[in-house]
A and B are shown apart, each in its own frame.
Chain A
Amino acid sequence: DTEVTQTPKHLVMGMTNKKSLKCEQHMGHRAMYWYKQKAKKPPELMFVYSYEKLSINESVPSRFSPECPNSSLLNLHLHALQPEDSALYLCASSQVPTGTGGPQTFGSGTRLTVV
């Protein structure tokens, strides 16, 4: 298995809703990432988990809450989002949590719309 699987593919939520994005990989990768991508822009890093521990938080608002239940799973809990949070949310993983250790493998993303 060489894929990163993200669910759901599309999500529409109201500003008072609570929802979660899920990400799964079975490549034995020990680093997992959440990115946010707006239209016509490159992905922007949100969080990095290394060996199931949060290692980088790029000053993301607390309405985004990441969770890494085990080495294969990564969640992003959403609460009280704003319309400007609408974007493509990408999950990625890499074999080791060092930048030069190899490329990151990306999932297809969750297209989130906040209404």
Chain B
Amino acid sequence: GENVGLHLPTLSVQEGDNSIINCAYSNSASDYFIWYKQESGKGPQFIIDIRSNMDKRQGQRVTVLLNKTVKHLSLQIAATQPGDSAVYFCAEPGREYGNKLVFGAGTILRVKS
């Protein structure tokens, strides 16, 4: 079955450093991926998405990289700030399930000041 998972459950970084959050997926037919940020007491917030016809996409301080060869996705956050502290989920609309969103387990990002 489909599986979207994360390598590291918790990531601690110093303020100002860059953060990299990783995600692995198992379905080679997957063609759309989304990163969400969830702060304590809030719902998931869309950060950035990428389609499988791209290897890289940049937003404001964030970059998503997609390596289809090894079925790996990463979210890079530049100059990490205390406000970036949250749980980050990668997600994929599992094709088998229509428009069901399949989430990875999540990575906790802690930013140290």
Spell out A's residues near B (CB within 8 Å): 4, 6, 31, 33, 40-43, 45, 48, 50, 55-56, 58, 90, 92, 94, 97-109, 111
Contacts and interface: CB of A to CB of B under 8 A. Distances in A.
Interface stretch (B11-19, B59-67, B73-81, B91-99): B91-99
A106 B43 contact: yes
Contacts of A107: 43
Interface of B: 31-32, 34, 36, 41-46, 49, 51, 89, 92-95, 97-101, 103-106
Contacts, number: 72
A42 B98 contact: no
A106 B44 contact: yes
Given A55-B98, A106-B36, 18 more contacts: A33-B101, A41-B106, A42-B104, A43-B44, A45-B100, A50-B99, A56-B97, A56-B100, A58-B100, A97-B99, A99-B32, A99-B101, A105-B46, A106-B43, A107-B43, A108-B42, A108-B43, A109-B42
18 contacts: A31-B99, A40-B106, A41-B105, A42-B103, A42-B105, A45-B100, A50-B99, A55-B98, A55-B99, A97-B98, A97-B99, A98-B99, A99-B99, A100-B32, A102-B49, A103-B49, A104-B101, A108-B42
A55 B105 CA distance: 25
Contacts of B97: 56, 99
B48 to A, nearest CB: 9
B34 A42 contact: no
B99 A48 contact: yes
Given A42-B89, A103-B34, A94 B99 contact: yes
Contacts of B99: 31, 48, 50, 55-56, 94, 97-99, 101
B98 A99 contact: yes
A100 B89 CA distance: 17
Nearest to B105: A42
Nearest to A98: B99
